Structure 1
Amino acid sequence: MRLVIIGAGFAGMYAALSAARLRDIQGVSPEKLEIALVAPEPTLVVRPRLYEPKPETLTAPLQDVLKAIDVIYVQGSAETIDTRTRVIDIAAAKGIKKQLPYDRLVVATGSRLFRPNIPGLAEHGFSVDQLDDAIALDRHLHGLSSRPASKARDTVVVAGGGFTGIEAATEIPSRLREILGKDVKPRVVIVDRNQAIAPDMGAGPRPIIEDALRKLGVETRLGAGVTSLDKSGVTLSTGEHIESATVIWAAGMRAAPLAAQIPAERDNLGRLLVDRELRVLSVDGVFATGDAARAPCDDDGNYALMSCQHATRMGAFAGNNAAAELLGVPIRPYHQKVYVTCLDLGEAGALFTRGWERKVEMVGETAKKTKQEINTVWIYPPRAERAAALASADPERVTDL
């Protein structure tokens, strides 16, 4: 029997850990139940941190962890999935193609930034979506030091006033001062079509976010969108033109394209609809998890968000349940009633909320310490020691805050 997991992000990593954990508990050998993880590299990109400086350091190796738990790593990119014959076509190194049959499949292919067809966005826009994107932005920011001082050089426009946009925008002032000198006066402008900043955070935390933006001198243009980009900057739907050498796109996410190959219903974000056990509806043998799945978290109408907090726990349930079906043992319905947010606000600290109603629990430096612990400890892979790695993947305890 073979269980295949596509993706080495948070959901894929925890699917592998959890499946191996159940296999171990059931006393089944790796020869009887093979677990394989398919990804271009055996590396976890610590995506929630890509707004920070030195993004090239924000990865964690997975090879030793996978070896410790007897999970086979298959290097390559899954190109096609045939759910009828249960075969995956993989593009490996040097143009080599190979096929990998499966008995159960976990789709943990994550998400991608949605880039609309706005004139100039592809040529002049940056992002912190993928590792290469964040590295390109970091190199660009450092390259600004070779340019003469100007409004455009010292101005950064961030398109998107949600979680990612705010974290990117509030980090920029200190990054630019580090690069251009402490006397530089960076101008940062957040542009968002919504009438309020951080629309998904709700009214409770918003005054704290707005106060942090004021302290940092971050401007906002709400109720406006970016209509075009060029070398000189951006033009907004209001007609305003902002001179800027740096435009960061942070507006909207979609499930990665591979999820569209599964012949099943998807939501408007491209996520596969799944049941409480994370099985893809109407497709036998396929589970979806993380940003690839639209999954109910509870009985109150809340659905998992595109976040590593949800991806890790969903991954653990998906891996466990896919293995459980093959081993003939009971599966567990995914649930995630506890939900917290920890929003980095740069030099203004951070904001920590609990629950779907976003009740504020910590602000400022206290919240910043928690954010730093989350970013540098909690979201990293377990150590490459078999017992510890397997113990970390109990679905009922993953991200139990």
Structure 2
Amino acid sequence: MKSNILIIGSGFAGVWSALSAARLLDQAQRDDLSISVLAPQPELRIRPRFYEADVHSMKASVSDLFEAVGVRFITGNAEGIDAAGRSVSYTDTNGQRQQIGYERLILAAGSQVARPAVPGLAEHVFDVDQMESAIKLEQHLAGLAALPTSPARNTVVVCGGGFTGIETATEMPARLRTLLGSDAPVRVLVVDRGAKIGAALGAGITPSIIAACEQAGVEWRAGTSVVAVDAGGVTLDNGEYIASNTVIWTVGVKASPLTAQVDGERDNFGRLKVDDHLRVIGQEHIYATGDTAWAAVDELGNHALMTCQHAIPMGRHSGNNAMADLLGMQPVVYRQPKYVTCLDLGDWGAAFSEGWERELKLHGQEGKDLKRQINSVWIYPPAADRALALAAADPLIAIV
């Protein structure tokens, strides 16, 4: 079995790579080239929402969408990349080892939370990184109601005060009270190495983070880190022990391990360095996109972050350019100079900023309304309408 373009991953970058490649193939009026997506399931999992409740619903099927645009889906887990032989090995749904060849490979395998060698971390922490782990956390939280009240039962420790940590922490008090009762003495703490609250997100957003945490009762242990975790709680580097049955790890992220199977330069997150067309530097037939790619977004030295905000446009470019390469057409330079953030802050609202300096533009309920629009509409894939889906995959579409 062989595919002209093989895409590993059905996340934001993978889905939009497939649509964009199909768009260019459609415009060329060619029917002799194929596009295949290899992933564990034919769905786009809405990972930016995994800090919310009802995690099992945070997904969108892409089966009908891919059928509408002529993309073949292969169910399996990619395990090996043979760049010299232009093939990928994978395990299918029956547990059998399979192999597929390609002419152009787009690596859109995403990223995963980094788990350092902290004693007890592997055994005792939860995360909201993948759907399975977020569901495990949700089931655990539901089970707390069956336990007798205690400081450990009522306390959640969120390790990491970055974007994911803050969204998880500010959402958590309401989630706990829904499960444990409105009068439950819940306690949520954020442990972060940054010297100040919200240090990782800049001064513009910090007042909103402080206000939201004060309203929700979220505490911070700034300038500290977790040095050990056990069944009863966490130990901090200052010697403090916090009793907790629920420790959530949000510190750090790394690119898919599959990136290590491709020769090339990498950044500190393991992302492959790519050229302006998202081709892996030093590789003739392999493109990297989304969380697997270290790509320039402008001429000022800024690079794409590991978020859907960058993964979606990167997918539009990588799919277009891989297909353009096969068709003998000119590729399109990837640039995305506009950068925004929209940080969910629980019942308080949300904070929306623009620019790399994160200048605050909206906060409170106005920010929340925008966040809900982003989370429930903008980041979902298009409907299974061929014309509409292909039009939405244009790499030159305006990004607002």
With the length of structure 2 as denominator, give the TM-score of the two structures.
0.98
Q: Which moved more, 1:318-327 or 1:97-106?
A: 97-106
Q: Is the 8 A contact 2:161 2:200 kept in 1?
A: no
Cα-to-partner distance string for 1:219-244 (whole Å, 9 max, x where unaligned): 10111110111121100001000011
Residue equivalent to 2:18: 16
How far has the Cα of 1:197 moved from its partner? 2.9
How far has the Cα of 1:363 moved from its partner? 0.3
How far has the Cα of 1:198 moved from its partner? 2.8
Residue equivalent to 1:168: 168
How far has the Cα of 1:210 moved from its partner? 1.3
What is the RMSD of the two structures over their aligned residues, measured on CA atoms?
0.9
How far has the Cα of 1:99 moved from its partner? 1.3
Residue equivalent to 1:122: 122
Separation (CA, whole Å) in 1 of partners of 2:198 and 2:318: 30
Separation (CA, whole Å) in 2 of partners of 1:390 and 1:41: 22
Q: Is the 8 A contact 1:316 1:393 kept in 2?
A: yes
Cα-to-partner distance string for 1:343-370 (whole Å, 9 max, x where unaligned): 0000110000011111111000111011
Q: Which amino acid aligns with 2:262?
A: I
Separation (CA, whole Å) in 1 of partners of 2:199 and 2:321: 35
Does residue 1:232 correspond to 2:232, yes or no? Answer: yes
Residue equivalent to 1:286: 286
Cα-to-partner distance string for 1:21-75 (whole Å, 9 max, x where unaligned): 011111111xx11000000100111000000001011111011100000001011
Separation (CA, whole Å) in 2 of partners of 1:199 and 1:264: 33
Q: How many residues align?
A: 398
Q: Is the 8 A contact 2:119 2:229 kept in 1?
A: yes
Q: Is the 8 A contact 2:103 2:285 kept in 1?
A: yes
Q: Is the 8 A contact 1:109 1:256 kept in 2?
A: yes
Cα-to-partner distance string for 1:95-140 (whole Å, 9 max, x where unaligned): 2222111111100000000011111111110000000010000000
Cα-to-partner distance string for 1:291-319 (whole Å, 9 max, x where unaligned): 00000000011000000010000011000
Residue equivalent to 1:245: 245
The SS at the match of 2:278 is: coil
- Matched ranges for 1:124-163 at <5 A: 124-163=124-163
Does residue 1:68 correspond to 2:100, yes or no? Answer: no
Q: Is the 8 A contact 1:338 1:355 kept in 2?
A: yes
Residue equivalent to 1:106: 106
Separation (CA, whole Å) in 2 of partners of 1:316 and 1:291: 14
How far has the Cα of 1:191 moved from its partner? 0.3
How far has the Cα of 1:257 moved from its partner? 0.4
The SS at the match of 1:102 is: strand
Separation (CA, whole Å) in 1 of partners of 2:296 and 2:66: 29
Where structure 1 has 5 or more consecutive residues not aligned to the other structure, the ranges are none
Separation (CA, whole Å) in 2 of partners of 1:237 and 1:54: 34
Does residue 1:393 correspond to 2:389, yes or no? Answer: no
Separation (CA, whole Å) in 1 of partners of 2:185 and 2:298: 47
- 4+ residue segments displaced more than 6 Å: none
Q: Is the 8 A contact 1:162 1:197 kept in 2?
A: no
The SS at the match of 2:15 is: helix
Separation (CA, whole Å) in 2 of partners of 1:343 and 1:276: 29
Separation (CA, whole Å) in 2 of partners of 1:199 and 1:129: 22
Does residue 1:274 correspond to 2:250, yes or no? Answer: no
Where structure 2 has 5 or more consecutive residues not aligned to the other structure, the ranges are none
Residue equivalent to 1:3: 5
The SS at the match of 1:260 is: helix
Separation (CA, whole Å) in 1 of partners of 2:27 and 2:198: 43
Q: Which amino acid aligns with 1:294?
A: W
Q: Which amino acid aligns with 1:2?
A: N
Cα-to-partner distance string for 1:178-224 (whole Å, 9 max, x where unaligned): 00011112111000112123333211111221121111111101111
Separation (CA, whole Å) in 2 of partners of 1:325 and 1:231: 53
Q: Which amino acid aligns with 1:369?
A: D
Separation (CA, whole Å) in 2 of partners of 1:291 and 1:130: 14
- Matched ranges for 1:330-345 at <5 A: 330-345=330-345
The SS at the match of 2:390 is: helix
Separation (CA, whole Å) in 2 of partners of 1:264 and 1:308: 24
Residue equivalent to 1:87: 87
How far has the Cα of 1:396 moved from its partner? 1.6
Cα-to-partner distance string for 1:275-295 (whole Å, 9 max, x where unaligned): 111010001110000000000
User: Identical aligned pairs, as a percentage?
Assistant: 51
Q: Is the 8 A contact 1:23 1:323 kept in 2?
A: yes
How far has the Cα of 1:90 moved from its partner? 1.4
Q: Is the 8 A contact 2:194 2:200 kept in 1?
A: no
Q: Which amino acid aligns with 2:77?
A: S
Separation (CA, whole Å) in 2 of partners of 1:392 and 1:177: 41
- Matched ranges for 1:181-196 at <5 A: 181-196=181-196
Separation (CA, whole Å) in 1 of partners of 2:42 and 2:395: 22
Separation (CA, whole Å) in 2 of partners of 1:177 and 1:389: 41
Separation (CA, whole Å) in 1 of partners of 2:231 and 2:357: 42
